[in-house]
Homo-oligomer: A and B are copies of this chain.
Amino acid sequence: MLRFIKKTSKTAGLPPGTLVHIGEQSEDKVRVSVIDYSESRFTEKEIQDINEALAFRQSPTVTWVNVIGIHNPETIGKIGEGYGMHSLVLEDILNTGQRPKVEDFEQYIYLVLKMLSYDVVNDEIKVEQVSFVLGNNFVISFQEKQGDVFDGIRDRVRKNKGRIRKMKADYLMYALLDAIVDSYFVILEKLGDKVENLETTLLEKPSPKMLQAIHKLKQDVLFLRKTIWPLREAINNLAHSESELINESTGIFFRNIYDHAIQVIDSIETYRDMLSGMLDVYLSVVSNKMNEVMKVLTIIATIFIPLTFIAGIYGMNFEYMPELKWKIGYFAVWGVMMLAAVVMLRYFKRKKWL
């Protein structure tokens, strides 16, 4: 549940633009690394003081400042000051309860979205907020923790693979975004496998435990949908942005991510429909089983209750009961009972209960 609503009430009453970290607490030091490159040059270093990063600002090379850990408002505040970011942007970066969105501040573009990963140990989806600030020749990325999906990009920049070193900062931003959206497919596949397994089990041997499993998957899908849905619009804005920070030739790449985001949402919607369908099927299966149980009870009861009644009759101790004296009495009663049972069974057969 906590993952749905962040404790944003912490800021209630504070002046807007106050820098307060909202999210998981952490004791780790905030780490800042800088990668600076052009087609011919490449520098990478971990920095202690944000001013080191600012030194790269004047040069025409592309600078990627990667901030790991946002639990220290002061550090974020310094970076924001150095790069001339609006205090509301800094507030958003620190508050991990953001919806994915894009905001164009002319001098820079602010983008915030969620990075998802699958925690195999606890069998749950983990979510981390990632913010990007795209300037004319820099990208600053803010993530909550060590560990991300950007290693491929770091590698491509280091080894000058593909076109990345030839392109501007907007392409770097695209590459980072693309890595995150691609990682959604990994989560989708995990979810898809679970839905598939559940469906197979559902039709083969449904059990009450499945209800919880379906419910949990539905919550996961709900959560994914809430997390990714607004991204669609945000990326669309980016793809059709008229900002000077985004070159026309990069537009097509953003449209490509937009297509991917729509594929993800489409799949989520499909899973939602499938899980709803499965819940219906589960309930019907349960209802069918109950029906079957009832039929067995009814058949047994309706056959034996009348027979027991007949037996009861001749168990009475009246002194004058003529049938009791008859020699064939006992066998006649058996005959009547057999007949009654056969009639009942035929009736059930006609009713299709057997």
Contact = CB atoms under 8 A, between A and B. Distances in A.
Interface in A291-320: 291-298, 300-302, 304-309, 311-320
Interface stretch (A26-34, A138-146, A278-286): A278-286
Contact of A288 (B208, B226, B302): B208
Of A16, A163, A286, the most chain B CB neighbours within 10 A belong to A16
Interface stretch (A53-61, A67-75, A129-137, A256-264): A256-264
Of A193, A292, A311, the most chain B CB neighbours within 10 A belong to A311
Interface string A266-293: 1100110110010111111111111111
A297 B296 CA distance: 11
Contacts of A192: 1, 4-5
A1 B311 contact: no
A17 interface: yes
Contact of A302 (B86, B193, B300): B300
A110 to B, nearest CB: 11
B308 A312 contact: yes
A84 interface: no
Interface of A: 1-2, 4-5, 7-9, 11-18, 86, 88, 92, 97-99, 101, 103, 105, 149, 151-152, 156, 161-164, 174-175, 178-179, 182-183, 185-186, 188-189, 192-193, 195-196, 199, 203, 205, 208, 211-212, 215, 218-219, 222, 226, 230, 252-253, 255-256, 259, 262-263, 266-267, 270-271, 273-274, 277, 279-298, 300-302, 304-309, 311-321, 323-327, 329-330, 333, 351-353
